[in-house]
């Protein structure tokens, strides 16, 4: 079903065509004229995901890993098929390395609460970057306070590029973990993750990568990156809310105690003792978001149906067009996104607060995010109260960017009168 609908997406000659792709997303039909530039916060959902979830409930739904009846078996097969799809999507070695969680935030908290205390003690250090989302800062602050760790911040330079030399200088044998984003949700800068992993591994540290912004728009190969943990949220990847993935190298997952107890994560329970399941089930206590995970699998099918190289090429070109177009508007100041900026860009308009910009843009049908983007430490570093952030999805094209530019012009007129 998904394959058939996706073939229609391609224009003659197989060229990527966002206009036709947009028809896969009912939100645009129901909201004519909407220019949606907030996929970095959450992507819209294609029919294959929306209808696929409903169809799953109608046809194959029952609790998983429980029933002896056929229907439960089918439901379990669909659920576990999504795990295999996710494995293939990330090129993980083994599907047991894929843990389903509620989102990237939960995945990071899982690692912090389970791996953290088992492998770190007072005086050990965690290195994060200065462009992290709050979800990749706060769990580590909490762990720091609990275990007496040190949280070290690796800087990006004035061009928005991650400073590898400064990072390397911060590493030491005390560094136990490096937790960095793959693509900044504020600047769109792509971090040199493979090199970060090499340097971190050289001092014996493990590496967790926040892939929320990368997974929907570029090929991700966890084995090529060499990272130890990789996390992402389903809802930013055209999938349903409430779904997310923790990839962890199997030997690491095996070394980690459960973080939540309950059904589904046990082998045997006696009243005073419990034997736990092997990963990934050890970390999936309780009935999971079964339909959500099935929907996440459909979302990954959707992305693969278009092709991640094609998506990256399209969004890279569109990012270049957008940054060029918007930065030429007098009074607009861009936040630099480094040499490899992808799909996300932030800016301010002289003398106009981002919140006011957001209201004017909304009035012109352009949906962007304004504020601190859950990255207050980065705002502090940039000396900004907030920014206006636009982020791209497969349905965006140059006409959307032109509409954004026009709305920015209208905004300047409004506030310069």
Partner 1 sequence: MMDLRELYQDIILDHGRHPRNFHALEHPTHLARGHNPLCGDRIIVYLAVEGERIADVSFEGRGCAISTAAASLMTEVVKGKTIAEARALFAQFHATVTGGGAEELPEALQEDAERLEPLTGVKAYPVRVKCATLPWHAFEAALKSGLAGGTVKTE
Q: Which residues are near partner 1 by CB under 8 A?
A: 351-356, 359-360, 363, 370-372, 376, 379, 385-386, 414-415, 417
Q: Bridge partners of 265?
A: none
Number of DSSP helices (H) and strands (E) in the chain, helices first = 17, 15
- Using the minimum distance from each CB to partner 1, give the nearer residue, 328 or 417: 417
For residues 224 and 91, the answer to whether their CB atoms sit within 8 Å is yes
> 74: which 2 tokens?
């089918």
Q: How far is the CB of 184 from partner 1 (least distance, A)?
A: 18
For residue 400, what are the CA distances in angstroms to 362, 388, 414?
13, 16, 21
Question: Which positions ≥6 away from 269 have C-beta within 8 Å?
Answer: 275
Nearer to partner 1, 77 or 362 (CB): 362
With beta carbons less than 8 A apart as the criterion, state whether 125 and 172 touch.
yes
Q: What whole-number distance in Å separates Cα of residue 373 and Cα of residue 183?
A: 14
In the block, which residue shows the tokens 């060029």?
A: 324
Q: Tell me the torsion sign for CA atoms 257, 262, 264, 269.
A: positive
Q: Which of 236, 293, 283 is nearest to 75 (CA)?
A: 293
Smallest gap from Cβ 351 to partner 1, in A, equals: 8
Which residue, 31 or 363, is less far from partner 1 as judged by CB? 363
Q: Is 150 helix (H, G, I), strand (E, B) or coil?
A: strand
Convert 336-345 to b/e letters by CB count within 10 Å (16 or more is b). Answer: bbbebbbbbb
Q: Please state the closest distance from residue 32 (CB atom) to partner 1, in A.
A: 13
**Cβ 104 to partner 1, closest distance in Å?**
20
Distance CA 316, CA 389 (A): 16
Q: Which is nearer to partner 1, 27 or 414 (CB)?
A: 414
Contact at 8 Å (CB) between 36 and 44?
Answer: yes
Q: Least distance from C-beta 54 to partner 1, angstroms?
A: 30
- C-beta of 90 vs 131, nearer to partner 1: 131
* Of 332, 320, 346, the residue nearest 411 (C-alpha): 332
> Shortest CA distance to 385 belongs to which of 395, 373, 397, 396?
373
Catalytic annotation present for 47: no
Of 47, 212, 227, 374, the active-site residue reads 374
Closer CB to partner 1, residue 86 or residue 135?
135
CB of 360 to partner 1, least distance (A): 6
User: What are the catalytic residues?
Assistant: 374
């Amino acid at each position: 079903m998904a394959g058939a609908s996706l073939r229609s997406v391609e224009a003659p000659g197989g060229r990527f065509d966002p206009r036709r792709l947009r028809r896969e997303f009912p939100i645009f039909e129901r909201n004519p004229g909407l220019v949606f530039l907030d996929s970095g916060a959450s992507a819209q959902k294609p029919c294959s995901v929306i209808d696929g979830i409903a169809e799953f409930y109608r046809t194959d739904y029952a609790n998983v890993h429980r029933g002896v009846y056929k229907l439960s078996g089918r439901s379990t097969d669909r659920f576990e098929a999504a795990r295999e799809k996710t494995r293939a999507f990330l090129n993980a070695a083994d599907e047991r390395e894929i843990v389903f969680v509620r989102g990237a935030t939960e995945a990071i908290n899982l690692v912090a609460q389970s791996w953290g205390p088992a492998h770190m003690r007072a005086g050990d250090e965690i290195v994060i970057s200065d462009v992290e989302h709050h979800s990749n800062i706060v769990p580590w602050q909490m762990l720091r306070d609990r275990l007496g760790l040190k949280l070290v911040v690796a800087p990006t330079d004035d061009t928005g590029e991650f400073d590898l030399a400064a990072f390397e200088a911060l590493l030491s044998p005390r560094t136990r973990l490096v937790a960095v984003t793959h693509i900044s949700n504020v600047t769109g800068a792509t971090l040199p993750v493979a090199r970060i992993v090499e340097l971190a591994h050289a001092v014996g540290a493990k590496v967790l990568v926040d892939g929320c912004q990368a997974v929907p728009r570029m090929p991700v190969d966890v084995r090529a990156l060499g990272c130890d943990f990789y996390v992402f949220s389903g809802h930013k990847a055209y999938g349903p809310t409430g779904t997310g993935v923790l990839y962890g190298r199997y030997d690491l997952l095996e070394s980690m105690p459960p973080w939540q107890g309950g059904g589904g994560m046990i082998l045997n329970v006696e009243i005073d003792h419990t034997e736990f399941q092997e990963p990934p089930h050890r970390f999936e206590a309780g009935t999971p978001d079964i339909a959500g995970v099935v929907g996440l699998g459909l979302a990954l099918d959707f992305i693969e149906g278009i092709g991640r190289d094609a998506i990256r090429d399209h969004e890279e070109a569109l990012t270049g067009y957008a940054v060029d177009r918007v930065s030429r508007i007098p009074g607009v100041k861009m936040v630099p996104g480094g040499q490899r900026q992808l799909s996300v860009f932030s800016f301010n308009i002289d003398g106009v607060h981002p919140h006011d910009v957001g209201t004017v843009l909304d009035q012109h049908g352009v949906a962007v995010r304004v504020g601190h983007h859950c990255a207050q430490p980065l705002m502090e570093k940039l000396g900004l109260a907030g920014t206006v952030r636009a982020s791209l999805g497969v349905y965006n094209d140059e006409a959307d960017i032109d509409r954004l530019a026009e709305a920015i012009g209208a905004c300047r007129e409004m506030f310069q009168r």
